[in-house]
Amino acid sequence: MENKVEILDLVIIGAAAAGSAAAIYASRRNLNFKIVAKDIGGEVALSGEVGNWPGIIETTGYQLAQDFRKHVESYGAKIEEGFEVTAIKQEKNYHTVTAKNFLGEEKVYNTKSVIIASGIHPRNLNLPGEKELRGRGVTYCTVCDGPLFKDKITATIGAGNAAIESALMMAGISKKVYLVTKFPNTKETLGGFPKAETILVNKIKKLENVEIIYNAETTEIIGKDNLQSFKYKDIETKEEKEISVDGLMVHIGMIPNSSFVTCGTKNPVGEIEVDLKCQTSCPGVFAAGDVTNIPYKQIVISAGQGVTAALSAIEY
C-alpha cells in the first residue's frame, strides 16, 4: 500500500520582509504552510539604521528582523531556519521544494503553491586581491564587521544608500573614513550619489572625519595576510592613486538569490519576472520582494509584495 504524500497549501521561501508578510497572511487564513529560510531578515538584518518603516521613527535592521520573527511566530508558524532551497520541481498536481542546510541535511516539501521571497546578496567588485582578502579586511557587511575597525582607517565603496549608511556607521567607529563613488560631484548626480536619499547625502557631507573621493574607479585591492590598501583611477584625469586602509566595505549593489529557480521567467540580471499579482509564468509559483523585477528595492515595498503574493496564492 502506497504512503499518502502530504501536500501543503503553501511553501514560503525566505523570512525577510516579503516572506514574513506572506507568512502572517497565510497564518491568518489558516493555511497549512511552511517557511523555509537560510536566515531571518536577510539583508534587512544586516542594515544599520532604518527610518522608513511606517509607525517606527527609528530602529535597526537587526531589531526589525527580530520583530519579523516575533510577529510570524506569534501565530504559531514555525520557520525552518538554516535551510537553503536548492530546487523547485513541478509535479502533476503540486510542486516539490527541496532544501539543504550547511550540514547537508535535506528536506523535501510537497505543496500546492510556492512563494519565492529569497531576496538578494551583495555584488562583488571582481578585482585582483578581493577574493583573497575577503574576511581579512574586505567585507560586504558593515553592520557585521564594522566594529572590528575601531579607531582605524576604513573605506566604503559605493554610491547608494547602503554605501552612505556604511560610511555613516564607520564615521562613529573609525578615526578616518573614505567614501569612494564613481560619480562626479555635480547637481546632475545629486552630489555624487544619484541613487541615494538626499537626507543621507547631506548628513555624510557634514562629517569631518569622512573624505569623499569622486570620479573614482577602484582597480585593485592590496594586502598579504591582511588588507593594506586599495588603488583607484580618476575617471576624468586617468590619474592612479593608492590609499592605505585597514578595512574596506563594499556596497555596490545586489544580485538576486534566484539561481535555484528554473520554473518561471527571469530577466537578464536574474530577477524573477512577476505580474501585478506577483504570479510568475509558472502556475502556482509566486515571487515577492527584492528577488523580483519590481522596481525600488525597499523594505516596505517588499512587505507589500509579500502580502500580494500570499493573497494570490490563497486565491490560486
In this structure, what DSSP letter does residue 57 have? S
Distance from C-alpha of 87 to C-alpha of 272, rounded to nearest angstrom: 15
Which residue do the cell numbers 560610511 mark? Answer: 167
User: Domains of the chain (ranges plus CATH)?
Assistant: 8-121+254-315 (3.50.50.60), 124-250 (3.50.50.60)
Q: Does the structure show a pLDDT above 80 at 133?
A: yes
Give the mean pLDDT of 122-139.
Answer: 94
Give the angle 275-279-283 at the CA atoms, nearest 5°.
Answer: 135
Q: What are the b/e assignments for 152-161, b being 16+ CB within 10 Å? A: bbbbbbbbbb
Give the mean pLDDT of 211-239.
Answer: 97
Distance from C-alpha of 62 to C-alpha of 53, rounded to nearest angstrom: 13
The three-state secondary structure class of 224 is coil
Which residue do the cell numbers 519576472 mark? Answer: 273
Distance from C-alpha of 46 to C-alpha of 12, rounded to nearest angstrom: 21
- Phi first, then psi: give them for residue 40, nearest 5 degrees: -100, 125
Q: How confident is the model over 10-39, as pLDDT tens digits?
A: 999 999 999 999 999 999 999 999 999 999
Identify the bridge partners of residue 76 per DSSP, sorted by sequence position.
Answer: none
Residues 6+ apart with CB under 8 A from 121: 43, 254, 255, 257
| Amino acid letter, 124 | N
Total-model pTM = 0.82
Residue 243 parent element (H or E): strand 240-244
Which pLDDT value is given to residue 2?
A: 52
Locate 177 and state its grid cell.
573614513
Q: Does the structure show a pLDDT above 50 at 1?
A: no
Q: Does the structure show a pLDDT above 90 at 6?
A: no
Q: How far is CA 289 from CA 119, 162, 262, 269, in A?
A: 6, 17, 18, 15
